[in-house]
Structure 1
Amino acid sequence: MSFENLAQELAAATPQRESYLTIGVFDGVHLGHQYLISRLVEQAKQADALAGVLTFRNNPRTILQPEYSVASITSLEERNRLIKEAGVDFVVSVTFSTAISLLRAEDFVGLLRKHLKMNGLIVGPDFALGHKRQGTPSFLKNLAKQEGFSFTTTEPLSFNNKQISSTTIRSSIIDGNIEIASDLLGRMYTLEGRVVHGKGRGGALLGYPTANVQSSPELVIPGNGIYATWALVEGRRYQSATSIGVRPTFGETERSIETFLLNFNDNLYSKDIRLEFVKRLRDEVSFENPEELQTQIALDVNQVEKLLKS
């Protein structure tokens, strides 16, 4: 996205009156983000201004460090929905680009002042804006005095001695530490996808028909193992046992997500499904034969049922 395209996108989102803004990726919209947005909404109301969030569709690190691959905790649609539910008046999503990374901090602020009528900016303690991270909180504080807009930096937050950050949450999900991830998110960690055709072993061979879930390749996937989950399909919620891994009992190597819905007998193919992860139950294990696997699945399902009933 060029400077001109950025200016055009911001101009297309010009609010009706002055605004207070915060800026960031907001991947996961975790407790730290929620606190920052609550402060934004509070200050905007006090100033009789609109509360707005400028978010990037892509993670800036993918541009600044092309060799760095970062999976998202939430899709852009989910992220924007959660931000709006937090009480802001508008969300503007732009694509981070090399051209944007080369913008001076004062020029970026100038665009926000001109097109989004920004009269207040609130950011987290590690925030930086502009070329070579020039726009640190101290830099922006001085710029705010010169330009005559409000500027606030929030304090860092932690939960049970864990730093609240998207990086910490992402690592927890990858390690299978779902409960830590959910604590830092302030809600259950979820993964969305669509049910696709699989090998058909679950029902025919094992007696437990599973839904094979295909999620976006851009999303982070929990570590291999068996999880207690809730499955949301067409507005209804079902207890479910979810397996993530490579099906070692059958000698496969391709990673998959399969979930068995308790007390469900309908067709799920091509339907959207949302999995709410509650707890990791065990590692993925290679069994000697399908009969041993079937016995273990029965134990897993029983454990899921007991856990989710409590």
Structure 2
Amino acid sequence: MQIVLNGRIKLEGSVLALGMFDGVHIGHRVLLKRAKALALQQNVPMVVCTFASHPMMTIAPEKCPPMLSTFDERAELLREQGVDVLYAMPFDSETMDMLPEEYIGELIRRFHPMAVVCGYNHSFGKKGGGSPALLAAIGDALGYSTEIVPKIMLDGHDVSSTVVRGALRRGDVTHARALLARPYARGAKMESRDENGISIALLENGKQDIAFGLYRMLWKQKGHTYPAVLELLQDEKHGIMRLPSDLEISGEGIVQFVSRADGHACTKEQM
């Protein structure tokens, strides 16, 4: 997969998938699967056009939601979904003030799309004034097709990055895992070890925190995976990890949250 950070790109044709794709959850995967199928039919690359950071970081940083994935994690997850080109634009003042029609013009100039695929609630352009319907109307005039992916549901509930964040805030990592199609992960650093276990600090401060409590987890480090239990403390950034006693490991690794080990998650009313 080619990664382009707002650089020059020259494509004679493409299938373009639009969105933030934070977490690359199962709803995103439906969209990406459809875009890949169209790209294979047309024999052109599948391009994801996204932003390097969340637009709210520019519009109103204090209101920006925590992320489910770092940029590098997002890129790797998109690569696994068959994306050929990941084009990451900066969301700056120029982009923020771009009219929806101007934004579509930029997409056409850069990617020459034969088809554009987006979610039902995708918005773009100044004050989010652009809609899938506008994309489709301009496509009808300029010769690209538009596919709008409807709302995706799981067990009668919406699938969205917002819903995943809510599950993690409640400590419902099982529900989050179902929505993400993988365990939610955080980078972590071992700080000390004693008879109670290994003290760790969660890294990546911009990512969504998880409610404190006891969790079954996997510790991934240097190509190895170890089952463990993590007692996440009330600050939600430090914890005590218990691994098999004969393991001598140190440094940084990845915590994957598998399930709750203390039998409950907070309800919305308890938060």
TM-score (norm 2): 0.89
Do structure 1's residue 12 and structure 2's residue 5 form an aligned pair? no
- Tell me how far apart the structure 2 counterparts of residues 258 and 25 of structure 1 sit (CA, whole Å): 33
Letter of the 2:111 counterpart: L
Aligned match for 1:150, one of 145, 157, 176: 145
Contact 1:224 1:283 in 2 (8 A): no
In structure 1, stretches of 5+ residues that fail to align are: 1-7, 247-252, 285-310
4+ residue runs over 4 A deviation: 8-11
Do structure 1's residue 129 and structure 2's residue 129 form an aligned pair? no
1:165, CA displacement in angstroms? Answer: 0.3
Give the root-mean-square deviation of aligned CA atoms: 2.1
Contact 2:198 2:242 in 1 (8 A): yes
Aligned match for 2:244, one of 255, 262, 280: 262
Letter of the 2:129 counterpart: Q
**Aligned residues with identical type, % of pairs:** 22
1:263, CA displacement in angstroms? Answer: 4.5
1:14, CA displacement in angstroms? Answer: 3.0
SS at match of 1:12: coil
- Tell me how far apart the structure 2 counterparts of residues 102 and 279 of structure 1 sit (CA, whole Å): 43
Aligned match for 1:230, one of 218, 221, 225: 218
Letter of the 1:212 counterpart: I
Letter of the 1:281 counterpart: A
What is the aligned partner in structure 1 of residue 171 from structure 2? 176
What is the aligned partner in structure 2 of residue 297 from structure 1? none
TM-score (norm 1): 0.78
- Tell me how far apart the structure 2 counterparts of residues 9 and 152 of structure 1 sit (CA, whole Å): 25
What is the aligned partner in structure 2 of residue 281 from structure 1? 261
Larger deviation, residues 208-217 vs 106-115: 208-217
What is the aligned partner in structure 2 of residue 212 from structure 1? 200
Contact 2:26 2:181 in 1 (8 A): yes
Letter of the 1:118 counterpart: P
- Tell me how far apart the structure 2 counterparts of residues 261 and 230 of structure 1 sit (CA, whole Å): 10
C-alpha distance after superposition, 1:121-178 (max 9, x if no partner): 1100001121122221111111111111111101110101121000000110111011
| Distance of aligned partners of 1:67 and 1:54 in 2 relative to their CA distance in 1, 3 Å threshold | same
- Tell me how far apart the structure 2 counterparts of residues 221 and 272 of structure 1 sit (CA, whole Å): 18
Aligned match for 1:67, one of 56, 62, 66: 62
What is the aligned partner in structure 2 of residue 29 from structure 1? 24
Contact 1:173 1:181 in 2 (8 A): yes
Letter of the 1:276 counterpart: Q
SS at match of 1:67: helix
SS at match of 1:217: coil
- Tell me how far apart the structure 2 counterparts of residues 128 and 211 of structure 1 sit (CA, whole Å): 43
Contact 1:11 1:115 in 2 (8 A): no
What is the aligned partner in structure 2 of residue 240 from structure 1? 228
Letter of the 1:149 counterpart: Y
SS at match of 1:29: coil
Contact 1:213 1:259 in 2 (8 A): no
Letter of the 1:266 counterpart: E
In structure 2, stretches of 5+ residues that fail to align are: 265-271
C-alpha distance after superposition, 1:203-257 (max 9, x if no partner): 1xxx2331413311111121000101111111111111111114xxxxxx78413
Structure showing the higher strand proportion among its residues = 2
Structure of larger gyration radius: 1
Letter of the 1:259 counterpart: M
Letter of the 1:223 counterpart: A
Contact 2:115 2:144 in 1 (8 A): yes
Structure showing the higher helix proportion among its residues = 1
- Tell me how far apart the structure 2 counterparts of residues 72 and 13 of structure 1 sit (CA, whole Å): 27
Letter of the 1:106 counterpart: E
- Tell me how far apart the structure 1 counterparts of residues 246 and 155 of structure 2 sit (CA, whole Å): 38
Aligned match for 2:209, one of 200, 210, 221: 221
Task: Say how many residue pairs are matched.
Answer: 261
SS at match of 1:144: helix
SS at match of 2:137: helix
- Tell me how far apart the structure 1 counterparts of residues 246 and 114 of structure 2 sit (CA, whole Å): 53
